[in-house]
Amino acid sequence: MRLSRYFLPVLKETPAEAQIVSHRLMLRAGMIRQQAAGIYSWLPLGWRALRRIEQIVHEEQQRAGHIPMLMPTLQPADLWRESGRYDDYGQEMLRIRDRHQRDLLYGPTNEEMITDIFRAHVESYRQLPLTLYHIQWKFRDEVRPRFGVMRGREFLMKDGYTFDVDRAAALHAYNRHMVSYLRTYERMGLTAIPMRAASGPIGGDDTHEFLVLAQTGESEVFYDDRVTALKLGARQIDYDDRAGVAAVCAEFTALYARTDETHDPAVFEAQVPEAHRKVGRGIEVGQIFYFGTKYSEPMGAVVVNDRGERVPVHMGSHGIGVSRLVGAIIEASHDDRGIVWPEGVAPFPVGIVNLRQGDGATDAACAELYAALTERGLEPLYDDRDERAGAKFATMDLIGLPWRITVGPRGLAAGKVELTSRRTGESEEMGPAAAVDRLADLFCAAGQAQGRDG
Ligand code: ATP
Ligand code: MG
């Protein structure tokens, strides 16, 4: 993408309404625009980051054997009357009436709808296990929408629903989600710690939240600091291997890690040596629930088991805050000049800065770099505007692309361009072809280190 043809409305001033750094940076970098309290447009750069995150979520869900689909944002109230939640949900639910006086609502979640789909089409345990998920906009009329996309009213969520014949199978589905979430967050450059949670309105006994440590997080967290060193890394996961998947979950949940809702000071002190006890704050970026037959019983989602008995199906629901993650990643990865995108989620992998726009040699070298990078699947953002070098660097630093290639007449005379890491600030001079090779290797290696295929 050439910046001269792009739409990147960066702000010079720091917006006064933004209280936390990710919100400020998303506004300044021209990623979002607020349209009403807690409701945002995703401008082109923000949209690209959001799409990268969505893509990783899709890949890891499908790797775990979960099936993508799409349910609507608007739902009939009658489904929610069946489960009893139409009255229970309260003011967070946006209720709508259509021209025929039928009650609708803008879905805050989809348990009822997916249960309705299931009961219409599934009859036998032979059709199980089944996990269906979608990534769809939700609406919750939060009392205090704030912190930009971190607590919006309209927000994008991945929500997945598991259907199993019994508790043991359902717990395997739960564990599969835990492991796939760990990999998902790692690929985004995040350390998200599974913490035992309280269940809230969705219901259920087995539930974990995933928290990213950050001072601006809304949850207070208590943990053994050794938990932050745990990594899935490059290990291969066989998602059909119940014992293997359970062992990974055991490893990641053995150390004490809880939110204020479930924290128990006596257990904390007994289990965690003083030197490892940490109290901090965290951002909830996902939650998994096993809730048994809470919806299947009232809604009649029944299957015939292998003994010929009709039993309510065991269910779970599993969410990832896709749009919140954009903010959470920035909270976890920025400096005083701007965003520092982890490679896995950067809206563009690399920026090209032409130090002398209009100079035949630098223009040609930039065009060649642009073509070579694009051919290797690394679409660059090329700053081809007629601007001072300082302004171009400031924009690149603000929007936080992981790598920058700087092309100037002096270097070019020696056959060199400069490759700079946004994270470390370190620069290295090399030939343009070597810079392209280096980036292609880096992005391919980053993929492989996380269990992807190149
Ligand atoms: P919270 O406690 O932060 O209000 P929740 O527990 O009500 O969230 P869930 O029902 O668990 O939310 O939804 C799954 C995920 O969706 C959450 O883990 C979070 O990442 C995201 N999410 C929930 N509410 C919002 C919101 N208002 N804005 C953005 N993301 C949200
Ligand atoms: Mg939650």
Summarize pLDDT for 362-376 with one digit per residue, the tens.
999 999 999 999 999
Share of the chain above pLDDT 90, in %: 93
| Average confidence (pLDDT) over 34-49 | 98
pLDDT of residue 14: 85
pLDDT of residue 391: 97
| Average confidence (pLDDT) over 167-182 | 97
Cα of 265 to ligand 1 centre, how many Å?
26
Query: Where do the domains of the chain lie, and which CATH numbers do they carry?
Result: 8-339 (3.30.930.10), 350-449 (3.40.50.800)
Tell me: pLDDT of 448 over 70. Answer: no
pLDDT of residue 54: 98
pLDDT bracket for residue 450 (50, 70, 90): low
Given a contact cutoff of 8 angstroms between Cβ atoms, the answer to whether 154 and 107 are in contact is: no
Tell me: pLDDT of 157 over 80. Answer: yes
| Average confidence (pLDDT) over 2-7 | 98
Tell me: pLDDT of 451 over 50. Answer: yes
pLDDT bracket for residue 453 (50, 70, 90): very low
pLDDT of residue 452: 53
Arithmetic mean of pLDDT over the chain? 95
Ligand with an atom nearest the CA of residue 210: 1
Q: Of ligand 1's atoms, which has the minimum distance to the CA of residue 328?
A: 20
Share of the chain above pLDDT 70, in %: 97
Whose CA is closest to atom 19 on ligand 1?
Answer: 321
pLDDT bracket for residue 111 (50, 70, 90): very high
pLDDT of residue 449: 61
Tell me: pLDDT of 98 over 70. Answer: yes
The HSE-up count of residue 235 (CA atoms within 13 Å, CB side) is 15
Cα of 96 to ligand 2 centre, how many Å?
25
| Average confidence (pLDDT) over 108-119 | 97
pLDDT of residue 16: 86
| Average confidence (pLDDT) over 348-363 | 97
Tell me: pLDDT of 405 over 80. Answer: yes
**Range scoring the smallest mean pLDDT among 178-187, 311-320, 441-450:** 441-450
For residue range 293-332, what is the model confidence (pLDDT) as tens digits?
999 999 999 999 999 999 999 999 999 999 999 999 999 9
pLDDT of residue 454: 37
Name every protein residue with a CB atom under 6 angstroms from any ligand 1 atom.
Answer: 109, 140, 142, 151-152, 155, 157, 284-287, 319, 321, 323-324
pLDDT of residue 197: 85
Of 157, 283, 289, 318, best ligand 1 pocket probe by most atoms within 8 Å of the beta carbon: 157
